[in-house]
A and B are shown apart, each in its own frame.
Chain A
Amino acid sequence: MADWNAYYQKEDDEVEQEEGEESAGDYKNSGRDSLVFLVDASKEMFIKGEDGEPSNFDMTIQCVRSVYTSKIISSDKDLVALVFYGTEQSKNPRNSFKHVYIYHDLDCPGARRVQDLDGLREEKGARLAAEIMGSGETSLGDALWCCSNLFSDMKLRLSHKRLMIFTCRDDPHGGDGARDRQARTKAADLKETGVVIDLMHLTKPGGFDVSLFFCDIVSPPEDESELGLQLEPCGKLEDLKKRVRAKEMKKRAQSRLTFSLGDGMNIAVGVYVLARTATKPPAVRLYSETNEPVRTKTRLFHTQHGSLLLPSDTKRAQVYGNKQIVMEKGEVDEIKKFSDPGLVLIGFKPMSCLKLHHHIRPALFIFPEEEQVTGNSCVFTALLQKCSERDVFALCKLTPRINTPPRFVALVPQREVLDSSQVQAAPPGFHAIFLPYADDIRTLDVHECPTANDEQVDKMKQIVHKLRFRYRSDAFENPVLQQHYRNLEALALDLLAPEAIEDFTMPKLNMMDDRLGSLAQEFKDLVYPANYNPDSKTAAKRKPAEAGGAVPKKPKVEISEDELRAHVAKGTLGKLTVPVLKDACKQFGVQTTGTKKQELIDALTAQLDK
């Protein structure tokens, strides 16, 4: 078992570390993710839905666009291509494939490409598409072949290859057996080379029958269940986006760990990050003459003789109690080591022990790794099922990597949840919630506050009732990030002004006020006295102090003129404190500009020497 004990880090969970960067230390995972959109451009795709609903083609393009922009934000090193099939015109290397149009070659998406896609949207987009590509015969085999060339011509090493087919035709070749066969063979070839083929089937009058043809084309689902193909076709853009988003990113374990239950019983689990604060990527330094990126090198110098310092010429130090304590760099790291990386089960606790305020950082997700040890998933599933049934969580000690002190986590069971169209809404596994140590909980001096009476509470209940909505975790876009990328987009495309963003984090005041109507005033009448203004905070703040009878901070130190003169004569004014000097200045009507002690002394001396 020692072998899968070997821990390696897949992705650093330090927020500071840039995510997309292929870190130099970890090369096991280098290589790019790639994704090809293979979109049907036949006439059927352009038929508009009833009630002015967008055509399948339009929906697909919007969906592809959203993938492009999200790739730009979250993983800008990934490669994406857009290929149309069933076109009249052809555009591919050497034009060896008829009716296949490579719109975007496999590359990182950029501003230009996003703009291209915008051109294909809606009515005028459909016209443009008809103009440059047209709709013609279909040979999915050729299209697949062309895509496979895209993958194989790639000079970069690809770590994950995925192909998504968007179509609304379940029988693309109209019963042409030879072409069907060719497509099947080509699809098999692709799958052989590690390409995962997904079908994003769209609505078709009379229903889309996957079993007719496409069941032989697409890759079997990961878990070999029959779930994959029973999917309903996507009718709505939201659904399509969701389905695409679930597939477009290759899920990656942040790390693989052993989960030891005790007594030598170990299972292997992967640790995944399902939520992490997306931040603005760090700025790149560019050479102003060529706009090419520059690299930074940091070097250490000896201040006195200017020689380069190697890391071995330095040590680390901290000062405590007037003493400098020095350690080697290695020792500093060693101090952080408690045990080897892993997840150790301590015991179980009822869910009620996990309090809302037990939160110090975003949770991780734990899923079994069946690849290395068989039987893993079975143990895991049994634990998951039982924990969930008994409403308990597993308390574990987590050492995420070498030289990292342990943290305790609550493994909260999560059963699989499917949404109405059988898409996984929540994956099965354990959420690892980080628990605070004693040091992380601050003591606040709480004060008792008056409590509200039932009438006041009831009024608030009405307000709450009026402003109810259903919270969805993906409902809010980060306005700061969005604005940043719009700005970049505008600069990259030489737009006059960036596209305006909608800030979903702002309260919709008008709507809220409308809904509340007179309730707001009624509530205020109930809780606030007539002259109370919660917005004037300064006025309210001062009040209690005045009411308390103006307790002076310090008794004023009066100093007699004689004493003062004595001090001036002896030149010992400096012995007095600043407040005393200030008071003295006031007393003698001395105008001072400064508040520094020397200035006060000078002013006083000048006055009294007269």
Chain B
Amino acid sequence: MDVGFSMTNSGPGLEPPFEQAKKVIQKFIQRQVFAESKDELGLVLFGTDRTKNPLAEDGQYQNISIYRHLMIPDFELLEEIEHQLQPDNQHADWLDALVVCMDLLQKETMGKKYERLNIALLTDLSTPACADQLDIIIGNLKKAGITLQFFLPFPVDADAEADGAGDGASQRHPPPGGKGLSREQKQGLDMVRQILTSLDDEDGLEEVHSFSDAMEKLSIFKPIERRPMAWPCQLTIGSSISIRIVGYKAVCEEKVKKSWAVVEAESHHKDDVKRETVFCLNDDNETEVEKEKTIQGFRYGSDIVPFSKVDQDQMKYKSDGKCFAVLGFTKQETICRHHFMGSQVIKVFAPKDDEHAGVALSSLIRALDSLKMAAIVRYAYDRRSNPQVGAAFPCIKKRYECLLYVQLPYMEDLRQFTFPSLENNKKFAPSETQLSAADALISSMMLVREDEDGEKEDIFKVNSIPNPQFQRLFQCLHHRGVNPGTALPPIDPWLRRMLDRPQAVSACCQGPLQEMKRRFPLKEVLHKKEQKTSAHVFGNSDDPDAKKLKIDEQDKFSLGEISEGNVTSVGSVNPAKDFHTLIQQKTIPFDQACEQLTRRIEQLLGNRSTEYYMKTITCVQAFREQAIKTSNAELFNNYMQSLKKGVPDRNLQEFWDLLVQDALTLISKDEEEGSSVSKQEACQFLLFEEKMEEVATPPPEDGGDVDDLLDMM
């Protein structure tokens, strides 16, 4: 990379070539690092103030320094580039630098196996180069089999344009530098052409890239490389025909290779965290049992059948090894596209070295293709794996022929749902004008267009879009790796753009969309049918206010929530707090949380001591608060009624006095609309006197038993 003086020059408002080149290199290394590629990489800077290379003697090869020798790139290198790489004030002959690179490659690859040697030269060509040795250099490049790539701040044809089209054209297309190319640059460019065309007659110039171009291409992280694994097997038809085949996974959802390890928050050490799984009985105390005292079982409907692993292995379905056996042939149209199962497509070829198998397979492929049929096969990967039933479709391409295997469903996999008819239903049937509006929309939004030559162009090819998940993950990893302690960056705009509707289409479809909106009145149903689920009965989730509240709360409590850990039930240590957390996190339904809380309250009251009473009071308080918040006044009020009834029998007068002190009474209408209790009634409620029976709100259920009440919930 050229870090010389001229690289910092740039037109106003433009990024200097140095910064661009640095980004190109960063992106390149980043790609290598995240692809975990084993490729080795060195970095030679030229135009440096210092000179550090083995060829530097007698004033030759000055201002060139080897920054990094050939090795597998790592984060250290990325960090160094980010923080240390600075433009210097010298300049150096880029051809000299090239020679240093060649020397580096040759010396450091000695004794190593390699597939390819490549030098990428990033420079603005502003330094005059000495062309004397050009032929020798080219000769050496050829001899060593080194390929060359040039990265320049301007496109390679920039000067041709400026020369040929005169001033008018060059003003319309100013080269990225903001000024025309200097004489040195033109000369340099000529030399670049000379080198590249002599290395490769035809495609030589394709190896010259502009920085901006390269940035765009390099922004995309390298797809994770996987070597296709061959799966040799025999395709059989009946008992006597067998054809040797090799299967390869051709399409398969690629997952991120690495998973996240759990590390201790302070030390960031994985070894500091130990995961332990314990078994416990389903009783109140959650009695733990040892692993040795547990056995394996399975559910068979309502029964649980103990079924040890040994027995299971002995009795389970046994398949007899790998298999690709034809069960029969069927018309392709009998196989529904939406019945494809599994997560992969396998391409089946004949082995490379077996031409007889090739001919046999070819005759099957061609026969199926001309009859529009497919083979239904039993496929088993190996002895341990479950057999599948799938379809093998013929696939004939210009360069090869193969079978495409896709898994098909078993009877158990299918769900036969019946849906209401749409087109035969007068209510939903669209009118002619509506249909034509839909038709116009489709026309305006076609992603495959024909140009004048009748050639079709697909402007939104999903299978050339990189998986955004990986791109985003690596972007964030890189950011965090280089700038630890800072917030994660937003999603790259180019990535967003790639996932959105193409500009060309969204411009075209405006009109038809407006027409659609006019033609199809959409009306929100006001009286939304309430689903009869606990969430609705207790009305805490679909109420927009409640939702807003929920979100607010989440924001507010998110920190507390994290430190809280995972609360899954109302414990006995701090029941009120657990209850709060449960409600906020919505881990369990409100009514269940209440049930758990009331159970704890009953437990606490059973102790009959002031200390426990205090705890109980906080529970009641919490219950009351949440009940108001979630408009569940009735639930709380009912409980209080039953609690009150129990006071004389259970000798809880002392507790009741505490309640009176804290004025923890029924929730009145004033506090919550859903309550049927007036303020006055609420005040009277706490008074314990003979008049109690006359308290206006009749308890809905006669028995004051908590359990009854819970059943009611």
Contacts and interface: CB of A to CB of B under 8 A. Distances in A.
Contacts of B506: 262
A446 B400 contact: yes
Given A373-B523, A380-B422, A513-B239, A427 B501 contact: no
A3 interface: yes
A468 B362 contact: no
A492 B298 CA distance: 10
Given A284-B296, A285-B279, A415 B423 contact: yes
A424 B326 contact: no
7 contacts: A24-B568, A265-B517, A363-B337, A446-B399, A478-B410, A479-B387, A516-B237
A436 to B, nearest CB: 5
A537 B350 CA distance: 12
B281 A516 contact: no
A22 to B, nearest CB: 11
Contacts of B331: 470-471
Contact of A287 (B289, B378, B412, B429): B289
A346 B460 contact: yes
A45 B350 CA distance: 59
A521 B326 CA distance: 17
A350 interface: yes
A152 interface: no
B395 interface: yes
A497 B568 CA distance: 43
B535 A524 contact: no
Interface string A461-492: 10111011111111111111111110111011
A606 interface: no
A576 interface: no
B466 A296 contact: no
Q: Which of B239, B249, B280, B463 has the most CB of A within 10 A?
A: B463
Nearest to B362: A452
Contacts of B533: 27-31, 159
Interface stretch (A36-44, A47-55, A87-95, A310-318): A310-318
Interface residues of B, number: 227
Contacts of B361: 449
B703 interface: no
B572 interface: no
Contact of A444 (B250, B302, B388, B491): B250
B470 interface: yes
Nearest to A388: B423
A513 B277 contact: no
The 5 closest A-B pairs by CB, nearest first: A223-B420, A323-B75, A452-B363, A449-B358, A321-B74
B228 interface: yes
A289 interface: yes
Given A457-B362, A461-B371, 5 more contacts: A347-B460, A357-B250, A440-B251, A489-B300, A534-B357
Interface stretch (A122-130, A163-171, A330-338): A330-338
A76 interface: yes
Contacts of B418: 222, 246-247, 251, 424, 427
A178 interface: no
A509 B239 contact: yes
Q: Which of A292, A357, A441 has the most CB of B within 10 A?
A: A357
A464 B371 contact: yes
A516 B366 CA distance: 19
Interface stretch (A138-146, A274-282, A586-594): A274-282
Contacts of A224: 425, 427
A309 B264 contact: yes
B240 A521 contact: yes
B695 interface: no
B453 interface: no
Interface string A86-114: 00000000000000000000011111111
Interface string A360-386: 111101011011111111111111111
A302 interface: yes
A485 B312 CA distance: 11
Contacts of B297: 283-286, 291, 293
A437 B534 CA distance: 41
A386 B439 contact: yes
A322 B315 contact: no
Interface in A375-422: 375-387, 390, 392, 395, 397, 405-406, 408, 412, 414-416
A487 B261 CA distance: 39
A4 interface: yes
A335 B265 contact: no
Contacts of A159: 533
A88 to B, nearest CB: 30
Contact of A281 (B272, B299, B367): B299
B366 to A, nearest CB: 4
A533 B415 CA distance: 44
B341 A362 contact: yes
A227 B424 contact: yes
A521 to B, nearest CB: 7
B362 to A, nearest CB: 4
Nearest to B34: A320
A472 B621 CA distance: 62
Given A110-B303, A381-B422, A386-B438, A300 B529 contact: no
Contact of A540 (B76, B354, B415): B354
B420 A332 contact: no
Interface stretch (A67-75, A199-207, A564-572): A67-75
A560 interface: no
Contact of A395 (B306, B370, B441, B460): B460
A217 B534 CA distance: 30
A427 B180 CA distance: 66
A217 to B, nearest CB: 20
A347 B648 CA distance: 73
Nearest to B235: A534
A359 interface: yes
Contacts of A287: 279, 281, 289, 293-294
B421 A225 contact: yes
A311 to B, nearest CB: 6
Given A299-B278, A309-B273, A469-B328, A457 B367 contact: yes
A76 B301 contact: yes
A82 interface: no
A358 interface: yes
Contacts of A498: 315
Interface string B313-334: 0011100000001111111001
